[in-house]
């Protein structure tokens, strides 16, 4: 497997990546046993993959509903001018309920994922925060009824 910088990922790297993406909390010693190498070798391999940017980090993932956020929506944003992209993104970053922001092709210039406590809360964010952002021409909102699945890319 190669990426843009001709980064070589060997079979051991792939096995490590497979194991740690299935369970980010798996102990390195357990990964070492599965891979039949030392714990130090796993630690060095993982650190190398982090340094190369293959692994972007690890995180604990909060359950939005358990935190009181029951509405998930995707919003397509139309800009007044494409040159306003950076300015608009900086303002969107100030809205903590926006968890993803993508620069896209197609109808929208920007596509975001947002969590709100309710539909009313979503309306307040749209009306009181997003509509006041200079550079946004209009938005189109799609409310998610349920997340059927979410996963990591396969390691092949």
Question: What structural domains and CATH numbers belong to the chain?
Answer: 11-52 (1.10.10.10), 65-144 (3.30.70.920)
Q: Residue 31, Cβ neighbours under 10 Å: how many?
A: 22
- Which residue in 46, 58, 43 sits closest to 9, CA to CA? 46
pLDDT of residue 1: 42
Are 79 and 136 in contact by the 8 Å Cβ rule? The answer is yes
Secondary structure element (H or E) that encloses residue 20, with its range: helix 11-22
Smallest CA-to-CA distance from 130 within 78, 69, 67 is with 78
Tell me the pLDDT tens digit for each residue of 26-70. 999 999 999 999 999 999 999 999 999 999 988 888 999 999 999
Cβ(115)–Cβ(84) below 8 Å: no
pTM given for the model: 0.83
pLDDT digits (tens, 9 = 90+) for 66-102: 999 999 999 999 999 999 999 999 999 999 999 999 9
**pLDDT one-digit tens code per residue, 114-147:** 999 999 999 999 999 999 999 999 999 999 999 9
From residue 25, how far is each of 11, 19, 21, 31, 113 by CA, in Å? Answer: 21, 10, 9, 11, 26
**Does pLDDT of 2 surpass 60?**
no
């Amino acid at each position: 497997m190669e990426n843009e910088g001709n980064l070589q990922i060997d079979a051991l790297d792939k096995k490590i990546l497979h194991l740690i993406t299935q369970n980010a909390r798996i102990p390195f010693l357990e990964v070492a046993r599965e891979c039949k190498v030392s714990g130090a070798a796993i630690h060095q391999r993982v650190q190398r993959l982090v340094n190369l940017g293959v692994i972007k980090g690890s995180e604990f993932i909060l359950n939005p509903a358990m935190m009181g956020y029951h509405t998930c929506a995707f919003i397509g944003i139309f800009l007044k001018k494409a040159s306003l992209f950076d300015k608009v993104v900086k303002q969107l970053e100030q809205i903590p309920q926006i968890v993803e922001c993508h620069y896209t092709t197609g109808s929208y210039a920007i596509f975001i994922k947002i969590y709100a406590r309710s539909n009313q809360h979503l309306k307040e964010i749209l009306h009181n925060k997003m509509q006041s952002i200079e550079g946004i021409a209009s938005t189109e909102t799609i409310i998610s009824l349920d997340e059927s699945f979410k996963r990591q890319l396969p390691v092949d």
